[in-house]
Every structure is written in structure tokens, then in C-alpha cells.
């Protein structure tokens, strides 16, 4: 009945027909394997399709099923995710994989509610997996889908409001066809990516809804959607210390919780500190700084903050291992040959700009 309504008012069928003729060929569209679809959807949050392609193949070759993900050592896992950023995404995937192994005999649960109960799987992702992998009628509404629906319906509600998102999802439910819910959701995503685009003018001439879109009819595509501004990101000044002796570089392990939890970083100070202070800090670790010079500057943007980083390259006497044996704060530090940075210690993207300096 619901399907008929969608077909009757020209929403569902024209969209599916357009999708059949225009969809991009993407590796995660060749499978019904819920694990693969899950991996793709998590990677595609915050990362562009073209960038995801390579990571997707590599990840699945390394960890071909849920059991392999559940068993992976964390450093290996983070290494596979390196470059994608937002590392909690993959940490949560592993937590969810462990739950799936323990509670569901290694098989991904096949309904929206159970998917939603797993770590890292929110409403959008639960809807995407339930519909694409299991043919469940469930909406998958992200920011791109909100944009096209606001235009289609000529609705000026604030799409940043979670209540509006819920209302849109509920309204959309009536148009999801029983026989192709996954294709319907992917068609919406596709329309948002290639026609009703996020930046710049929508290509209304190519849109399957050009006859019924209210924003187009009323020439309001540039006014919709309405989206209230997010809080501005805070800016934090940092100084990165690249501390090297003849054969090692010093890394610091971040605290267990919070931003980049448990990851290794170059030691870092708050603020932009002077060379003299940087030398002092190095000495406070029981090291003997020989030379110091100013090095690269970099900016890294997180969701809620920006790090504006200066850096110093500090060369110290070959005494790091001895200092390490003596000093208490050293349990938070590791000393490694620079080559191991790429093999064993995944460096968060925030520090990538400094990687080449270490050699």
C-alpha cells in the first residue's frame, strides 16, 4: 500500500528508474554481504567515495570477515584505518564485531533495532545496512538525504534539528518500496551526490523529480535546505616536539579517553612555546638536548576543534634508553627507530605533516 502511494505521486518509481540508469559502479554495490556493506558505510561517513575505494579493498583483504575484525590487534586495525581519520569509527566497529561474535554467532543481526544497538551504528547506518543487506524497509537519512527532501517537499524546517530529521525519516518511510528498499536508499544517496549536490547549483535538468520538486517550481533551491550554523570550532595552539637521538624517535601515548584516545603522538605542549622552553621540557624528561631548530607548521581540523601546530626538531644525546630506565613519566613514552612508525605505531593524521622530518 505504501509502495503504491510512492509510485502514484511520482516519487519512488522515477527515482529507481533514474538510479538503474545512472548509478555509479562501486565495489560495495556488488555485494549483499552485511559486513562489507557495514565497512563501506562506516568509511563513507566523513570520507569521499573516491578516497574510500582503496581503503575499502585493502581493509577487506586484511580483515575479510567479522571474526577477523573481532580478533585484530588494535595497532594493526588502526594502521589499516590510517588516513581515514576519526579512529573511533574503527574502534567501535571492532567492539561491535566482538559483540556479533559473542551474541549472534558471528552473523550480523538482520533488523534495524538490533543493528542500532551495536556500538558505532547510528540511525543512518542501521537503516543503510538493514535495507541494503537485508531488504528491510528502513529509512537511511543523512545530511545529503535531508537536503534533497527539504527541496523536494519545499520544507524550510531546520535540518540541523534532530526532531526535523526524525519527521523527515517518518515521512520518507511511506515511499520506500517493499521490493527494493536498499536500492531506494542508495538512489537517494546517489541523487544527493551527483544531481542535488551539496556545494554549488543542483543539476535540476538531470533530476528524476524535476516535475514535482517544490523548491525547483518555486525557484527556492538556493534557499533550501535551511540549516542552522554549528558552533564554531575552537582553535588550539600546540607545539610538537620531534625528539631524536641517533637512532630513535620519542613518542607519547595519549590518555585512554578523549580525543585520539590511546594513540601515539609526538610529544606536544599546549600553546606555541619558545625554543628555550622546548629545550627545558626535553631536559625535564631526563634527556640532554644538543641542538634545537624550528621545523614545519601544520593545521589539523577535527570535528569540534582545530590544532594549529608549530614544531621543533630537538636532537638529543644518545641517552634516551638510559633516561627511559630511570624516569617515572616514561611509562607513557616509547622509543622507536623511525622505520617502526610506519609498521607498528600508527600515527594519527594530525601528525602526518611531521612524519617526513623524522627520516
> Which chain residues interact with ligand ADE by CB under 6 A?
26, 28, 40-41, 44, 49, 186, 189
Q: Which residue, 49 or 353, is less far from ligand ADE as judged by CB?
A: 49
CB atoms within 10 A of CB 251: 22
User: Distance between CA atoms of 135 and 151, rounded to whole angstroms?
Assistant: 27
Residues in contact with 137: Cβ distance below 8 Å, sequence separation at least 6, in sequence order: 2, 131, 173, 176, 177, 178, 181
Minimum Å distance from CB 225 to ligand ADE? 18
Separation of alpha carbons 24 and 299, rounded Å? 34
Name the residue nearer to ligand ADE (CB basis): 129 or 244.
129
Measured from each CB, the residue nearest to ligand ADE is 44
Q: Is 309 exposed, middle or buried (0-12, 13-18, 19+ CB in 10 A)?
A: buried
- Active-site residue 190, yes or no? no
CB of 29 to ligand ADE, least distance (A): 7
Catalytic position from the list 41, 123, 190, 265 = 41
Using the minimum distance from each CB to ligand ADE, give the nearer residue, 52 or 77.
52
| Nearest approach, Cβ of residue 163 and ligand ADE (Å) | 23
Confirm if 175 and 209 have CB atoms less than 8 A apart.
Answer: no
Distances (CA, A) of 204 to 145, 154, 319: 16, 14, 66
Query: Which is closer to ligand ADE, CB of 106 or CB of 120?
Result: 120
Q: How far is the CB of 52 from ligand ADE (least distance, A)?
A: 8
Nearer to ligand ADE, 197 or 268 (CB): 197
Q: How far is the CB of 141 from ligand ADE (least distance, A)?
A: 11
Among residues 181 and 286, whose Cβ is nearest to ligand ADE? Answer: 181
Supply the minimum distance, in Å, between the C-beta of residue 26 and ligand ADE: 6
Q: Which residue has the cell 538531470?
A: 206
Phi, psi of 268 (to 5 degrees): -145, 145
For the annotated catalytic residues, the residue numbers are 41
Amino acid at each position: 500500500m505504501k509502495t503504491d502511494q510512492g509510485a502514484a505521486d511520482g516519487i519512488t518509481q522515477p527515482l529507481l528508474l533514474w538510479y538503474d540508469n545512472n548509478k555509479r559502479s562501486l565495489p560495495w554495490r556488488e555485494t549483499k554481504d552485511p559486513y562489507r556493506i557495514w565497512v563501506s558505510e562506516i568509511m563513507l561517513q566523513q570520507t569521499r567515495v573516491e578516497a574510500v575505494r582503496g581503503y575499502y579493498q585493502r581493509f577487506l583483504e586484511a580483515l575479510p570477515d567479522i571474526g577477523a575484525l573481532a580478533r585484530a590487534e588494535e595497532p594493526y586495525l588502526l594502521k589499516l584505518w590510517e588516513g581515514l581519520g576519526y579512529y573511533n569509527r574503527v574502534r567501535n566497529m571492532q567492539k561491535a564485531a566482538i559483540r556479533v561474535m559473542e551474541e549472534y554467532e558471528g552473523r550480523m543481526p538482520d533488523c534495524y533495532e538490533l543493528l542500532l544497538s551495536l556500538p558505532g551504528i547510528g540511525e543512518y547506518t542501521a537503516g543503510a545496512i538493514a535495507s541494503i543487506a537485508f531488504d528491510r524497509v528502513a529509512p537511511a537519512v543523512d545530511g545529503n538525504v535531508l537536503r534533497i527532501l527539504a527541496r523536494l517537499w519545499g520544507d524550510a524546517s531546520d535540518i540541523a534539528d534532530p526532531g526535523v530529521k526524525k519527521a523527515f525519516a517518518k515521512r520518507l518511510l511511506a515511499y520506500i518500496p517493499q521490493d527494493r528498499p536498499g536500492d531506494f536508499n542508495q538512489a537517494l544517496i546517489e541523487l544527493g551526490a551527483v544531481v542535488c549536490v551539496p556545494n554549488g547549483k543542483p543539476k535540476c535538468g538531470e533530476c528524476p523529480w524535476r516535475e514535482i520538486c517544490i523548491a525547483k517550481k518555486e525557484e527556492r533551491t538556493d534557499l533550501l535546505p535551511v540549516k542552522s550554523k554549528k558552533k564554531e570550532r575552537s582553535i588550539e595552539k600546540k607545539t610538537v616536539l620531534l625528539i631524536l637521538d641517533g637512532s630513535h624517535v620519542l613518542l607519547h601515548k595519549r590518555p585512554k579517553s578523549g580525543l585520539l584516545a590511546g594513540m601515539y603522538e609526538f610529544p606536544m605542549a599546549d600553546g606555541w612555546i619558545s625554543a628555550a622552553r622546548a629545550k627545558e621540557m626535553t631536559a625535564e624528561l631526563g634527556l640532554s638536548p644538543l641542538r634545537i631548530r624550528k621545523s614545519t607548521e601544520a593545521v589539523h581540523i577535527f570535528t569540534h576543534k582545530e590544532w594549529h601546530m608549530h614544531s621543533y626538531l630537538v636532537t638529543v644525546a644518545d641517552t634516551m634508553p638510559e633516561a627511559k630506565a630511570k624516569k617515572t613519566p616514561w611509562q607513557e613514552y616509547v622509543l622507536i627507530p623511525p622505520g617502526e612508525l610506519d609498521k607498528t605505531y600508527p600515527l594519527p593524521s594530525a601528525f602526518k605533516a611531521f612524519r617526513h622530518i623524522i627520516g
